[in-house]
Structure 1
Amino acid sequence: MKNYVKLFCLSAMLLLLNGLADANWIGSESDMKFTPHLPNGKAGTPNTQHTQHTQNTPHSSSDSLPAGVTKEFLNSLTDEKGQKIIHNEDPEGDAMQERFFTGFAASDQFGYSISSAGDVNGDGYDDIVIGALFNDAGGTNAGRAYIYYGGIIVNSGVDVILTGLAASDQFGISVSSAGDVNGDGFGDVIIGANNNDAGGSNAGRAYIYFGGSSMNNIADVILTGAAISDNFGYSVSSAGDMNGDGYSDVIVGAQLNDAGGNAAGRAYVYYGGSSMNSVADLTITGAAANDNFGNAVSLAGDMNGDGYGDIIVGANGNDAGGSSAGRAYVYFGGSIPDSIVDVTMTGAAAGDNFGIYLSSAGDVNGDGFSDVIVSAYFNDAGGSNAGSAYIYFGGIIPNNTADVIFTGAVAGDQLGISVSSAGDINGDGYSDVIAGANLNDAGGTSAGRAYIYLGGLNMDNTADVVLTGKTTFDQFGWSVSTAGDMNGDGYSDMIVGAILNDAGGSSAGRAYIYLNSMTGTDIADEFFTGAAVNDGLGYSVSSAGDVNGDGFADLIIGAPYNSAGGSNAGRVYIYFGGIIQDNVADMIITGAAAIDLFGYSVSSAGDVNADGYADVIVGAIYNDAGGSNAGRAYIYFGGSLPDTLADVIMTGEAASDDFGNSVSSAGDVNGDGYSDVIVGALHNSSGGSNAGRVYIYFGGSAMNNLADITMTGEAAQDLFRKFCLFSRRCKR
């Protein structure tokens, strides 16, 4: 029996360790350790490194939802105030769910740059990257970029934080997916830092970070500007696969490079490969002084249908159409790409600054050729600086005449301050586009707007969806981008930046995600954050078993940052299954004290008291009953009328143990007919600093809170190393 118990414990340990893939961790390459997300500065080890990686994905001890729980049911769940948890639907059944991410400090201008990141962690959901060029973590205005993972439940906890290396670098001024430059099957990202001094004062840099199942925050490829004041990295983008070698390539703009004349500008293409290097493979130089060639760069898709990726480069200062009318240039890929321009588009009037922003538009007219969108946000067609954006259709021989023109509605709106493909938000097979107008006043002075134009065989210039900033001077629409398909519902999602939003501090900035489905033509007005802003609703999700004994499996969802019981006390919501599944929480259990983070982990506990009803277990990692941040775990017995009073309370042994970081049913370890539970204390130091401990509690008719089996990490940071060893999901 002893060996059987040991064997089962090892299995349970492995089970728990697999669950630790969802634990938060922060650290540098030399100090990689698990650390929980620290809301509002709650005590923990402060991070003083230049780079920080936090993983903040939903915590679930269950790999599958209860039988009979459909995506439609998940999409209809609400909290006690009637707000949707997974999905917001309007009365017609159409939906576009709004979710926001808030800057972390005053003046960060979080959301200055935004982009889809592709799927950097390989979980099948697209991710996003957001820049905050004035963040001070690495020095004044060193800058930061934040990666948020997609998932069936998209939460607002940052998963990877990338930090600028030196003051004034402005790391994050530009961000983009890099495609898959090293061919490992994971999406990669590229971040610009236009004022980095490594190549000379303000020569600039761009950093490529490879994705992976456990993506880190160390740049894998560093690209450096050639000369002082080049502003290399002011713009960055994937270049698709320009040379057809099977690896994605990248393009970086240096708008103030002087090779073609003072500030003529340059753009550099770097080919991907299994051993990608930092030497430019293709260099394209601006035609004349002050052209600012490279102020914007983008993948153009495959405009001419030859199977190679093409690129588009803006030169907003070009004078061919009048002083600073601007230009954009398309370069076709090929087996040996060259720097000879293939298509030249020219601004309509002096001062338009055409080409200042541009993007692939996908295939908006469904002809099989990629299209592009180019902005001129100082264009006066709709009034002084109302702005315009232009779509050019691809073709075997693309032309330089705009096929669709979108015009700003009111003087000063600056339509086209940002432009992007929106993907296919309504699932009709045509790509759609989005354009920002950051100074639009519909929601208040300079609250801003974003306009969505649906593609189609006969695409027109009337906006099909209008998103409006909610607060004066937010400048909503400063940045726009497709977000890929973050929640895996088959519809493209979008992201919009509001760089001067004050929710996180004066001009901290905000970014809004719109998760689309059905027609994509109506907007749900309420914010998607559960009962209150930043609840973290959906942070942990699990099957609850059959808590009320009606024969249907139930669902438990955690909201560890809910403040109903005190700031960040936390909450959990239980939804009973049934023939007719409604979307109202049947049980709501609230954390005992401020900053407990009750609901950080949730799971079915099996049937610990063998009464025929499933029980649940909930972790509260920052509960202070056993010492500051010692943590607690609570078991709630099921029943025909289950209540919200904890039946068994287990308490962490020592301060900062984070007991309850992970919780799960352990099956019946000792074979007595009662289900048992297992609880992790990630930072317990009994076996060395942060070696960690795991506790198994046997069930019984009178179950107590004394651990029956305790397993201790053998050395400092041991849980982290064992997790990597057993799961094979960490790279060192």
Structure 2
Amino acid sequence: MNIPSTRSPRWLFCCAAAFLSFALLTQSATAQGEHIKSNLLHEIWGVAGGEGVGTTTAVLGDLNADGYDDIAIGAPGAYSYAGAVYVYSGATGDLLLELTGVNYGDTFGASIAPLADINSDGFADIAVGAPNSANGYGEVYFISGYDGATLFQTHANGQTLDQYGFSIANVGDLDFDGFDEVLIGAHGTNANNGAAYVVSPANGTTMFTLLGAITEGYFGISVSGTGDANGDLTGDFVIGAYGANSFSGKAYLYSGSDASALHEFTGLNTEDYLGSAVAAAGDLNQDGYADLFIGAMGENDFAGVVYAHSGFDGSPIAEFRGWYAGDSLGSAIAMVGDADGDGVDDFLLGAPGYDQTRGAASLYSGATASLLDYYTGYSRGDYFGWSIAPAGDYDGRLHADFIIGAPGADSETGADSGYFQAWSLWSPILNPSSYEMSAAQGGVVFYGLDFPWEAGWGAYQLVVNLAGPGNTRWNGLDLPLKNDGLLQSTIAGDVPGPCLGFAGILDGYGDGMAAIWVPGGLPAGMVGTTYWLAAVGGQIGGVWDFGSWANPLTINP
């Protein structure tokens, strides 16, 4: 192998044999997916019975200027169902704001949508639904993220029990005025035929009104933006109508340009409840157009199914099925960003009926559709997974985090106080002591190897590339790295002469240690270079059975 000297930014690694013991900063998930661990970042409970904390969850912008996005949690049962939204620091979990409904029974906080800065004060704002306010007409409040002041509120001038604001979603800037529009569902309109409204946060005016055409279709029970599904450079949106056709359900994809219908999706059987949840799906089939998820929580005896469809032509892409009758998978769906570090956004599916309403949520890879991890509530009646949301990166591991709500959980303060959790998924296989190194000072980065115990006394190897996260097949395993010359060199085991630690034998627990040592005084041209590492393991002489995800190491000044 021809490896340039450390004067070149292509290669700087010299592995030193090292033995270092350090604590792994993690807690295991309540229930773990195979070979994956997750770190519980925050768990916050309601302070009174009946609050239903975690009924809705959303991540806002950075409201307290600490560099981390903050968390909004809906508790529509708080204060005798006046309702509340609690805004917490994403970094510390401290309470930043408490927003409350105006009157008993408003159920303020039944829905939440994050907004960009609509009042030009430099802070992200928030929209909150109160679907039972004004005798069930419903209202949506547009609120300052800086101080919690109401900027304005909207309603539909409809009728009692319209439930305007039961569902809301940020659908992007449809009119290119610099403000993201809000899609508001009112599933009770016209005796449960339903309606939905696209509202501009610039002035509160309604841009589009869409009316459900099916008797008791509950059109607007769920709403979401999807991104650009039809290639017209404007974001589109999807609306669920789970009551249509004797609750077989429907979902409709609309153009954000003119609200024209693009595709219609229909449940297979009576009481499938297709449209129980809808969500953006990124570009799952890599055709350049946005795709979408549709939940059918009632399908297969309420085991539930989540369908992924092409936004461009409506064709099916994939489906995900609940494990057991009553799981109600498809009650909540969210893209959560890149949780596993492979460069592709992943997604979380809620199943609040799992294990007789203990509840669960499953995290899937957006690249492979494989299960990354799953999480469960503590007790039956928690309804864990009722709400889910992305959460940015709170722990600095450079992977997306996420939030799961459990509004039915009981505590010492009372029944149905509820709680939410913020989680970080991270690989236990390759744990770096740092993600960066100084070119001027050099130093050592240690890599703790923590394979599953099944890998004990097996072989391991670390590999490196410069091309970044991706997918390269090697010896029975998909590496989370793009193929390049550096990767092929390290696959071949060709590393600098005196260096040790990039390949070896694990101990009986599947653990080991490697290190990267870099002398100081690296060339200035190396500053800003990022190397990506991954580790693989398996039985000696066999195929690789286990692999980490990509871990970056960036050279700073």
Q: How does 1:668-683 map to 2 (within 5 A)?
A: none
Q: Which amino acid aligns with 1:506?
A: A
Is the aligned partner of 1:481 residue 2:389?
yes
The alpha-carbon deviation at position 250 of structure 1 amounts to 0.8
The alpha-carbon deviation at position 113 of structure 1 amounts to 0.8
* Distance in 1 of aligned mates of 2:228 and 2:64: 26
1:85-132, Cα deviation, whole Å (9 max, x unpaired):
xx5589999652112111111111110111222334444322221100
Q: Which residue of 2 aligns with 1:245?
A: 177
Q: Which residue of 2 aligns with 1:146?
A: 86
Contact 2:171 2:180 in 1 (8 A): yes
The alpha-carbon deviation at position 186 of structure 1 amounts to 3.2
Q: How does 1:261-280 map to 2 (within 5 A)?
A: 262-272=191-201, 276-280=202-206
* Distance in 2 of aligned mates of 1:520 and 1:353: 40
Q: Which moved more, 1:177-186 or 1:229-238?
A: 177-186
Q: Which amino acid aligns with 1:162?
A: L
The alpha-carbon deviation at position 264 of structure 1 amounts to 1.3
- Secondary structure, in 3 states, of the residue corresponding to 2:150? coil
Q: Structure 1 pair 231/93, CA: closer, same or farther in 2 (3 Å)?
A: closer
Q: Which residue of 2 aligns with 1:42?
A: none
Is the aligned partner of 1:315 residue 2:241?
yes
Bigger radius of gyration among the two: 1
Q: Which residue of 2 aligns with 1:360?
A: 280
Contact 2:285 2:317 in 1 (8 A): no
Q: Which amino acid aligns with 1:147?
A: V
Which of 200, 210, 214 is equivalent to 2:144? Answer: 210
Q: Which residue of 2 aligns with 1:446?
A: 357
Q: Which amino acid aligns with 2:211?
A: T
Which of 490, 496, 510 is equivalent to 2:419? Answer: 510
Q: Which amino acid aligns with 2:423?
A: Y
The alpha-carbon deviation at position 225 of structure 1 amounts to 3.2
Count of matched residue pairs: 412
- Secondary structure, in 3 states, of the residue corresponding to 1:419? strand
Q: How does 1:702-721 map to 2 (within 5 A)?
A: none
- Secondary structure, in 3 states, of the residue corresponding to 2:331? strand
Which of 303, 306, 313 is equivalent to 1:389? Answer: 306
Contact 2:338 2:346 in 1 (8 A): yes
Which of 105, 108, 111 is equivalent to 1:168? Answer: 105
1:690-715, Cα deviation, whole Å (9 max, x unpaired):
xxxxxxxxxxxxxxxxxxxxxxxxxx
1:344-368, Cα deviation, whole Å (9 max, x unpaired):
1111211111012111123344444
Is the aligned partner of 1:230 residue 2:173?
no
Q: Which amino acid aligns with 1:104?
A: V
TM-score relative to the length of structure 1 = 0.53
Q: Which amino acid aligns with 1:268?
A: Y
Contact 2:110 2:166 in 1 (8 A): yes
Q: How does 1:102-121 map to 2 (within 5 A)?
A: 102-121=45-64
* Distance in 1 of aligned mates of 2:302 and 2:422: 27
1:293-352, Cα deviation, whole Å (9 max, x unpaired):
111111112223432121111111112xxx221111111223xxx232112111121111
Structure 1 unpaired stretches of 5+? 1-75, 523-577, 582-732
Q: Which residue of 2 aligns with 1:156?
A: 93
Q: Which residue of 2 aligns with 1:560?
A: none
* Distance in 2 of aligned mates of 1:282 and 1:236: 14
Q: Structure 1 pair 517/280, CA: closer, same or farther in 2 (3 Å)?
A: same
Q: Which amino acid aligns with 2:419?
A: R
- Secondary structure, in 3 states, of the residue corresponding to 1:357? strand
Contact 2:37 2:373 in 1 (8 A): no
* Distance in 2 of aligned mates of 1:122 and 1:270: 28
Q: Which residue of 2 aligns with 1:132?
A: 75
- Secondary structure, in 3 states, of the residue corresponding to 2:391? strand
Contact 2:336 2:345 in 1 (8 A): yes
TM-score relative to the length of structure 2 = 0.69
Is the aligned partner of 1:96 residue 2:53?
no
Which of 270, 274, 290 is equivalent to 2:216? Answer: 290
Structure 2 unpaired stretches of 5+? 1-19, 432-442, 447-557
* Distance in 2 of aligned mates of 1:77 and 1:365: 43
The alpha-carbon deviation at position 579 of structure 1 amounts to 9.7
* Distance in 2 of aligned mates of 1:149 and 1:283: 36
Q: Structure 1 pair 499/210, CA: closer, same or farther in 2 (3 Å)?
A: same
Q: Which amino acid aligns with 1:250?
A: V
* Distance in 2 of aligned mates of 1:362 and 1:521: 28
The alpha-carbon deviation at position 520 of structure 1 amounts to 10
Contact 1:451 1:466 in 2 (8 A): yes
Q: Which residue of 1 aligns with 2:127?
A: 190
- Secondary structure, in 3 states, of the residue corresponding to 1:477? coil
The alpha-carbon deviation at position 390 of structure 1 amounts to 0.8
Q: Which residue of 1 aligns with 2:318?
A: 404
Contact 2:337 2:400 in 1 (8 A): yes
* Distance in 1 of aligned mates of 2:285 and 2:398: 20
- Secondary structure, in 3 states, of the residue corresponding to 1:239? strand
Q: Structure 1 pair 120/358, CA: closer, same or farther in 2 (3 Å)?
A: farther
Q: Structure 1 pair 168/518, CA: closer, same or farther in 2 (3 Å)?
A: same
The alpha-carbon deviation at position 451 of structure 1 amounts to 0.8
The alpha-carbon deviation at position 466 of structure 1 amounts to 1.3
* Distance in 2 of aligned mates of 1:171 and 1:181: 21
Contact 2:48 2:414 in 1 (8 A): yes
Q: How does 1:531-610 map to 2 (within 5 A)?
A: none
